[in-house]
């Protein structure tokens, strides 16, 4: 039997998977969706085996739908709604900026951050720069991207940010949170926590 040691700097399992129960119900602070409810996804059989319930949040039977811009209402700092047309127009500009960053990627063998690439694009295409409210809406689009990657734009890799492979069968929200999955994986693998001081924690099989 293979023995595997996992070095873990935190005092808990899961890291970017972290279910908070302080409200009396599970709230995932990190990952909360199973993206691609299909057997190609190695987590799907495990989640099915554990009998965990999922809410479909995409497709015809969706109960949540937040990926279209039509359902987003933006408000400025004076609590006035940003006209939807501005949101849509700046969205198109943001798409164009990202397309142009693809050219920056093709021209430079070294990786740079998405933030650096956007600066390069805005310098070489001043017509894509936004002013006033439109500038704020553009910042919102960048924040939205940062929220998706849970990282600031200066930390997002230009080379890899769009390299994900989307699995089939839609997205399922983990109703009981991801914690049962982490617990099951830890139990299955027989991990125990060996504390080695405040910071150095080692998980041993």
Instruction: Check residue 17 for interaction with ligand FAD (CB under 6 A).
Output: yes
Taking the C-alpha atoms of residue 128 and residue 161, their distance in angstroms, rounded to an integer, is: 21
Q: Which is nearer to ligand FAD, 10 or 48 (CB)?
A: 10
Taking the C-alpha atoms of residue 6 and residue 201, their distance in angstroms, rounded to an integer, is: 9
In whole angstroms, how far apart are CA 110 and each of 72, 97, 117, 158?
A: 36, 20, 12, 10
Helix %, strand %, coil % for the chain, to 5?
Answer: 40, 15, 45
Q: 158, 112 in Cβ contact below 8 A? A: yes
Build a one-symbol-per-residue string for 122-151: x at contacts with ligand FAD by CB under 6 A, - elsewhere.
Answer: ----------------------------x-
Which residue, among 167, 146, 158, 150, has the nearest Cα to 99 in the 3D structure? Answer: 158
Q: Which is nearer to ligand FAD, 73 or 166 (CB)?
A: 166
Number of residues that bind ligand FAD (CB under 6 A): 13
Build a one-symbol-per-residue string for 30-59: x at contacts with ligand FAD by CB under 6 A, - elsewhere.
Answer: xxxx-x------------------------
Q: Which span (4-12, 107-115, 135-143, 183-191) binds ligand FAD, by CB under 6 A?
A: 4-12
Q: Which span (25-33, 67-75, 85-93, 162-170) binds ligand FAD, by CB under 6 A?
A: 25-33
Q: Which is nearer to ligand FAD, 26 or 119 (CB)?
A: 26
Burial of 114 (0-12, 13-18, 19+ CB in 10 A): buried
Q: Which backbone phi and psi does 144 adopt, to 5 degrees? A: -60, -40
Q: Which span (1-9, 72-80, 99-107, 112-120) binds ligand FAD, by CB under 6 A?
A: 1-9
Interface residues with ligand FAD (CB under 6 A) are 7-10, 15-17, 30-33, 35, 150
């Amino acid at each position: 039997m293979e023995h595997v040691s996992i070095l873990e700097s935190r005092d808990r399992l899961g890291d970017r998977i972290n279910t908070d129960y302080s409200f009396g119900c599970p709230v995932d602070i990190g990952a909360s969706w199973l993206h691609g409810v299909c057997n190609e996804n190695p987590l799907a059989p495990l989640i099915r085996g554990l009998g965990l319930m999922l809410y479909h949040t995409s497709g015809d039977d969706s109960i949540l739908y937040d990926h279209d811009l039509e359902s987003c209402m933006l408000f400025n700092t004076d609590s006035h709604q940003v006209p939807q047309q501005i949101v849509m127009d700046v969205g198109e500009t943001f798409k164009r900026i990202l397309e142009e960053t693809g050219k920056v990627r093709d021209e430079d063998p070294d990786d740079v951050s998405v933030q650096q690439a956007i600066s390069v694009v805005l310098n070489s295409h001043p017509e894509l720069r936004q002013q006033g409210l439109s500038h704020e809406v553009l910042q919102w689009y960048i924040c939205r991207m940062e929220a998706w990657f849970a990282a600031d734009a200066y930390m997002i890799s230009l080379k890899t940010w769009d390299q994900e492979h989307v699995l089939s069968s839609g997205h399922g929200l983990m109703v009981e949170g991801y914690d049962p999955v982490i617990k099951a994986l830890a139990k299955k693998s027989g991990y125990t926590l060996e504390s080695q001081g405040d910071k150095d924690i080692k998980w041993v099989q």
